[in-house]
Structure 1
Amino acid sequence: MSGTSSLPRIRLSGRSFLALTLTPEAPLADWLNALDAQLARSAGFFAGKPIILDLNRLTAETPHLSFLKSALEERGVRIISIENGDPTWPAVAEWDWPASLSGGREVESLKEDKDEAPNPASTTLILEDPVRSGQHIVWPNGDVIVLGPVASGAEVSAGGSIHIYGALRGRAIAGIGGNSAARIFTRQLAAELVAIDGFYATAEEMGAEHNGKPTQVFLENETVVFRSMA
């Protein structure tokens, strides 16, 4: 018997994760202050989430660029890839530049794969059980319908709209692939955070008149709007 015949077989399987893209803007000091304010309202928002750092709104001459990566890491942002920047820029020469990812697509494009026949059954995810604290539901292919509540500390993300027939106490993030027409509907708004197409609002910004009430959330002129439902 050869020495290799007793070795275990190596098993490989594929697994996909949703990575968030963070796009800083100049002046970086103001942008970091805005990020700190967001994190103060929603502690742990980036915890455990892979982040792609997109530098397309910055240049090699952007002031304080050299400190950006370390500043993000100090805030718990875990960068797995950097896009639209150049490692030869003098300001980023000392960065530990992550290996580039390949094959990624915008989430919205996952719904339109010309090499595969469309599957209507996969466009909407229906959750019959409550979404409990600590659970993270990610469905980039369309709408998510939750028949029960979404607990504090839970998160539901969808490429389309999110419909919650119970109380929304956690986080709901709709339109994650750039779908600004997505909406969030809940019978009882008590959310920690809601977002549509990257625009966020926290509990303090939702208005007392909507607290605990049937509410829809949508985007209007890049502003998150709350409207009562009868």
Structure 2
Amino acid sequence: MSNTPIELKGSSFTLSVVHLHDAKPEVIRQALQDKIAQAPAFLKHAPVVVNVSDLQAPINWRQLQQAVASTGLRIVGISGCKDEQLKAEIDRAGLPLLTEGKEKAPRPAPQEAAPPPPPVEQTVTPLTKTRLIDLPVRSGQRIYAPNCDLIVTNHVSAGAELIADGNIHVYGMMRGRALAGASGDREAQIFCTHLTAELVSIAGVYWLSDKLPAEFYGKAARLRLAENALTIEPLN
């Protein structure tokens, strides 16, 4: 046991970032309520970072903060703020100003434009990105795969949360929460090799653990929506 009353350790968390494109509090409140209604199971009381880089002064920060907080979201930080007066207001509100990684330097303009290549008649299939997690997902971790599928090749502990706008695949013990189709995609599916989840959700339609059919508990299973209801079948 350490002799000091506290200990500082580095860690990392996955947080959703709310990008504000309008400074009107009522517009923001309604837009957030509509988004939360799509997936209330995991957005309720969710911690978020608010990005204000697209907002133009003047901004009534107090009203804007109240609009976001009134939807149940928990603001843990502000990013993208460049206006000094707004920075001061955010600081007085007791919220930290965050930096979302390094900004990319602008590319230099080419001195001479290269001639366009001759047209080629072919069919191009767009690539779909997939987020791949090889390490165990610990309790308290939240992993989000925006606009793509999420694949976890290890165990997911109770209290952990997987969120994807596309499908979710778990090739290990699944004890936490899996929320596929987070942006409203009703075609999304969940695939598990060992299903003991606390919660499964597709496009906001969810089951808690006590709703999982007993014959599928701990088994390999596939979940999807059929006629606006969750269905489950063996994963062959």
TM-score by length of 1: 0.53
Compared with structure 1, are the counterparts of its residues 23 and 16 closer, same or farther at alpha carbon in structure 2 (3 Å cutoff)? closer
Choose from 163, 168, 186 the match for 1:180.
Answer: 186
Instruction: Identify the residue that residue 212 of structure 2 maps to in structure 1.
Output: 206
Instruction: Identify the residue that residue 226 of structure 2 maps to in structure 1.
Output: 220
Choose from 117, 124, 143 the match for 1:137.
Answer: 143
Question: Hey, what's the Cα distance between the residues in 1 that align with 2:74 and 2:134?
Answer: 34
Instruction: Identify the residue that residue 199 of structure 2 maps to in structure 1.
Output: 193
Question: Hey, what's the Cα distance between the residues in 1 that align with 2:210 and 2:181?
Answer: 22
Q: Residue type of the partner of 1:141?
A: N
Q: Residue type of the partner of 1:224?
A: L
Question: Hey, what's the Cα distance between the residues in 2 that align with 1:49 and 1:119?
Answer: 33
Question: Hey, what's the Cα distance between the residues in 2 that align with 1:178 and 1:198?
Answer: 7
* SS of match in other structure, 1:178: coil
Please tell me the root mean square deviation across aligned C-alpha atoms, in Å. Answer: 3.3
Instruction: Identify the residue that residue 10 of structure 2 maps to in structure 1.
Output: none
Choose from 37, 40, 49 the match for 1:23.
Answer: 37
1:174-216 CA-partner distances (Å, limit 9, x unpaired): 0112211110001110000011111111111111111100001
Q: Residue type of the partner of 1:48?
A: A
Question: Hey, what's the Cα distance between the residues in 2 that align with 1:151 and 1:174?
Answer: 17
Q: Residue type of the partner of 1:209?
A: E
Q: Residue type of the partner of 2:164?
A: A
Deviation of 1:23 after TM superposition, in Å, equals 3.3
Q: Residue type of the partner of 2:37?
A: T
Give aligned pairs, total.
140
1:150-181 CA-partner distances (Å, limit 9, x unpaired): 11000010111001000110000001122111
Question: Hey, what's the Cα distance between the residues in 2 that align with 1:49 and 1:130?
Answer: 22
Q: Residue type of the partner of 1:124?
A: T
Checking the alignment, whether the CA contact within 8 Å between 2:137 and 2:160 is kept in structure 1 is yes
Higher relative contact order (CA 8 A, sep 6+): 2
Bigger radius of gyration: 2
Question: Hey, what's the Cα distance between the residues in 2 that align with 1:170 and 1:16?
Answer: 18
Compared with structure 1, are the counterparts of its residues 16 and 227 closer, same or farther at alpha carbon in structure 2 (3 Å cutoff)? closer
1:78 is the counterpart of 2:98? no
Checking the alignment, whether the CA contact within 8 Å between 2:132 and 2:150 is kept in structure 1 is yes
Checking the alignment, whether the CA contact within 8 Å between 2:191 and 2:222 is kept in structure 1 is yes
Which runs of 5 or more structure 1 residues have no equivalent in the other structure? 1-14, 25-34, 39-43, 51-68, 81-117
Question: Hey, what's the Cα distance between the residues in 2 that align with 1:151 and 1:189?
Answer: 12
Instruction: Identify the residue that residue 128 of structure 1 maps to in structure 2.
Output: 134
Q: Residue type of the partner of 2:229?
A: T
